[in-house]
Amino acid sequence: MDLVLTEEVTVENMNREIRNANVCVIGGAGFLGSHLVDYLIEERNCKVLVIDNLVSGSKKHIHKKATFEEWDINEEWRMLVTYFNIHRIDWVFNYAAEPYIPEGFNRPMHFFEINATSVLRVIMACEESNIKGLLQVSSAEIYGNMTGKIKESDPVEPHSTYGVSKLAADGLVQVRHKESGVNAIAMRQFNCIGERETHEYVLPEIISQLSESKTVRLGNNSFRDFQYAGDAVRMAVDLLENGKWGEVYNMGSEDGIKIYELAEMVGKIMGHNSIDIEVDESKVRPWEIWHLQSDNTKLYETIKTRPQVSMEEAVKKTINYYKQNGNKWDW
């Protein structure tokens, strides 16, 4: 009698394609989260549960086909288990965060609670519910000052409470994967631009000022890697489908620009022959990180998706959104 050996089905060898699936996006009413929800519903035919406390997100950004639950990740984590079970969630993306770095200077406890401790709550809920996979969104701010393109193996030296809290969350993803076997990946997101920005970041600030005059007042002339939001979320889905559990990956465009050059680009697109740039001392960050640029080598060895929208085109999309939104932002 011949013995037939069958391979044990695990999350590592199962079909990890996120299509026609039940997906939860925590922070799905925010900037990046809402772009992800749109992509999952419109391009992947997924049923999406959005969980958001609406502190910085907006209901108007939530896709009409998504299910919405207003909930704060600071609350009892077993309620999250209930949501996962009711909606039979397969995959989880955690975009919830306190992201506006200057606010963390005066609210360090709150920032750490949201960006680190609450991540552990999400991980524990995923463990309890046997979720197929979790993508935890981290930040390039964990690296501190670097030169050239940054690899995941480079040293980390966060310069803010925000950066420290995100680094702690990365560690929780890695350690809990080892301790409990939870299927989780940490994605270190570099700067994003696009429609629906929800905080007063540099590009919306430049656009707002140049819509009123040819003078723009800015802080430090640092170098940043800007990625279009729509590209970032498509690549994030690919990463959760193909990334190695317990690993961290950079997510950026690998392209970059200095802030003053970005202002000049915006001015040109908005019809200014020239602009005047002034330094606003109130906007100069202490412990500024002067250079952040992603090295996507590890990412591109893992996923097939590549950016489709250039930085200039992403800037144009952001300007058009501002104009179509009545010359205002969503904050």
Asked if 128 contacts 181 with a C-beta cutoff of 8 angstroms, the reply is no
Q: Which residue has the tokens 């009409």?
A: 64
Q: What's the rounded Cα separation, in Å, for the pair 48 and 19? A: 11
Helix (H, G, I), strand (E, B) or coil at 158: coil
Query: pLDDT > 90: what percent of the chain?
Result: 77
For residue 13, pLDDT beyond 70: no
Nearest-10 Cα torsion for 237, 242, 248, 251: -40
Nearest-10 Cα torsion for 175, 177, 183, 188: 20
Pairing between strand 191-193 and 226-228? parallel
pLDDT tens, 186-233? Answer: 999 999 999 998 777 899 999 999 999 999 999 989 999 999 999 999
pLDDT tens, 55-112? Answer: 889 999 999 999 999 998 888 889 999 999 999 999 999 999 887 777 767 788 888 8
The pLDDT of residue 97? 86
For residue 120, pLDDT beyond 80: yes
The pLDDT of residue 6? 38
Whole-structure pTM value: 0.93
| 22-193+226-251 and 202-224+255-294+309-323 have identical folds | no
The pLDDT of residue 3? 39
Neighbours of 199 (CB within 10 A): 17
DSSP letters spanning 170-223: HHHHHHHHHHH---EEEEEE-EEE-TT--S--HHHHHHHHHTT-SEEEES---E
The pLDDT of residue 104? 64
The pLDDT of residue 12? 52
What's the CATH fold of domain 22-193+226-251? Rossmann fold (3.40.50)
| H-run or E-run covering 235 | helix 229-242
Q: What's the rounded Cα separation, in Å, for the pair 87 and 90? A: 9
CATH class entry, domain 202-224+255-294+309-323: alpha beta
For residue 7, pLDDT beyond 50: no
pLDDT tens, 18-64? Answer: 999 999 999 999 999 999 999 999 999 999 999 999 988 999 999 99
Q: What's the rounded Cα separation, in Å, for the pair 312 and 14? A: 39
Give Rg (Cα) of the chain: 20
Give the residue, 49 or 116, on which the prediction is more confident: 49
| H-run or E-run covering 227 | strand 226-228
pLDDT tens, 280-328? Answer: 888 877 778 899 999 999 999 999 999 999 999 999 999 999 999 999 8
271 sits in the region (left: phi over 0; alpha: psi -120 to 50; else beta) called left
For residue 169, pLDDT beyond 70: yes
pLDDT tens, 249-287? Answer: 999 999 999 999 999 999 999 999 999 999 988 887 777
pLDDT confidence tier of residue 14, bands split at 50, 70 and 90: low
Report domain extents, the chain: 22-193+226-251, 202-224+255-294+309-323
For residue 10, pLDDT beyond 60: no
The pLDDT of residue 152? 98
- 214, exposed or middle or buried, with CB in 10 Å at 0-12, 13-18, 19+? middle
pLDDT confidence tier of residue 2, bands split at 50, 70 and 90: very low
Q: Find, among 167, 70, 172, 181, the residue nearest to 131 by Cα.
A: 181
Amino acid at 274: S
